[in-house]
Amino acid sequence: MTVVGVDVGGTKTLVVVVDDAGTVVREETRPTPASDGPDAVLELVARLVGEVDPSAAARAVGVATAGTVDHDGVVRASTDHLAAWTGTPVQARLAHELGRPVSVVNDVHAAALAEAVRGAARGSTSSLTVAVGTGVGGGYVRDGSVVAGRRGSFASVGHMPLLGREPRRCPCGAVGHLEAYVAGPQLEQQYAAWRGDRSPVVGLREVAARARDGEPAAIGLLVRAGGELGSVLASAAAVLEPEVVVVGGGVAEIGDLLIGPARSAFTAHLNPALRSGTRLVPAELGVRAAALGAAAAAGW
């Protein structure tokens, strides 16, 4: 038997078919009609599920999406990356359209589950995964299950305060959260400000390339960002006591330029009682992580 996993992102939608062994047997990707509203997005998901599973053989469908998702599969809070997404009853709409069970989870919670089941945290009993990209999200897995919390926002490390920096407004509206300093767009803006550039903002991949070439401004930016990320993750670990902390997302994919300083700061700030049993590692599953986690949540 198979399960379908879906990752609805602001840029693209990825759908995978996963067998009982956790092997991806088919996948499709399409641009997400993010600005066209919930109807267009859900129609795309239903169509892609039909394409990858034309005989409706999959026993269930799991959907990962940005935003806070409640226990009924309704998006209770979301950014404007998906227009009018807040309030969308994703689970009910797709279950009716597809005629089979549908589960809906936050995309970072899904990625955390995938990394715990078959990725960087496999074999552990507890793990904290943080995804650093356009935003900063977190997910906590214990004994093979995501801990979502009362409002679906458990382990949202991006909204932990980062002390000692100039006040900066987070996309959530609060001031001084980690996301306001180490998410991709914020790092690109900081880099431009440091250099005094008036030209278009340099993308983070180019910043990383310049750091590898030895540019001081680029190196300094990534070292500081990694240090700030690691210190906040040490605070999170003091509360949650995970065996493994997994760092993923688009920003983390630039590699040890960020992960190295993050690991150093994490170790320096971590409660000494936890140091011998807690490790910080890079994610392993890449762009498939959320879709695989959605499939796992649906029962693969």
**Predicted confidence (pLDDT) per residue in 153-175, tens digit:** 899 999 999 999 999 999 888 99
The reported pLDDT for the residue numbered 83 is 95
Residues 234 and 252 in one domain: yes
The 3-state DSSP composition of the chain as helix, strand, coil percent (nearest 5) reads 45, 25, 35
Domain range for 202? 121-283
Q: Is the pLDDT of residue 258 over 90?
A: yes
Q: Is the pLDDT of residue 254 over 90?
A: no
Residues 62 and 132 in one domain: no
Task: For 33, list phi and psi in degrees, rounded to 5.
Answer: -75, 60
Residues 91 and 126 in one domain: no
Residue 79: Cβ-neighbour burial (10 angstroms; 0-12, 13-18, 19+): middle
Q: In terms of residues, how long is the chain? A: 300
The reported pLDDT for the residue numbered 55 is 93
Residue type, 296: A
The reported pLDDT for the residue numbered 152 is 83
Give the CA distances from residue 166 to residues 160, 174, 181, 246, in Å, rounded to whole numbers and listed in that order: 15, 13, 10, 28
Question: How is residue 123 annotated by DSSP?
Answer: T
Per the structure, how many domains does the chain have? 2
Q: Is the pLDDT of residue 201 over 90?
A: no
Q: Is the pLDDT of residue 194 over 90?
A: no
Residues 33 and 177 in one domain: no
40-52 average pLDDT score? 98
Checking DSSP bridges between strand 126-132 and strand 244-248, what pairing results, if any? Answer: parallel
Mean pLDDT (the chain) is 94
Q: Is the pLDDT of residue 200 over 80?
A: no
Residues 18 and 134 in one domain: no
207-214 average pLDDT score? 95
100-112 average pLDDT score? 97
Q: Is the pLDDT of residue 293 over 80?
A: yes
Residues 157 and 81 in one domain: no
Residues 214 and 98 in one domain: no
pTM metric for this prediction: 0.93
Q: Residue 248 has which token pair?
A: 């993923």
Query: Is residue 86 in a domain?
Result: yes
The reported pLDDT for the residue numbered 251 is 85
Packing angle of the helix pair 184-195, 216-240 (nearest 10 deg): 150
Residues 254 and 293 in one domain: no
Q: Is the pLDDT of residue 197 over 80?
A: no
Query: Is residue 220 in a domain?
Result: yes
pLDDT digits (tens, 9 = 90+) for 66-102: 989 998 999 998 887 899 999 999 999 999 999 999 9
Residues 92 and 171 in one domain: no
105-132 average pLDDT score? 97
Residues 80 and 21 in one domain: yes
The reported pLDDT for the residue numbered 142 is 97
Q: Is the pLDDT of residue 199 over 80?
A: no
Residues 29 and 81 in one domain: yes
User: 101-127: buried (b, 16+ CB within 10 Å) or exposed (e) per residue?
Assistant: bbbbbbbbbbbbbbbbbbbbbeebebb
CATH code at position 163: 3.30.420.40
Q: Is the pLDDT of residue 213 over 80?
A: yes
Residues 86 and 166 in one domain: no
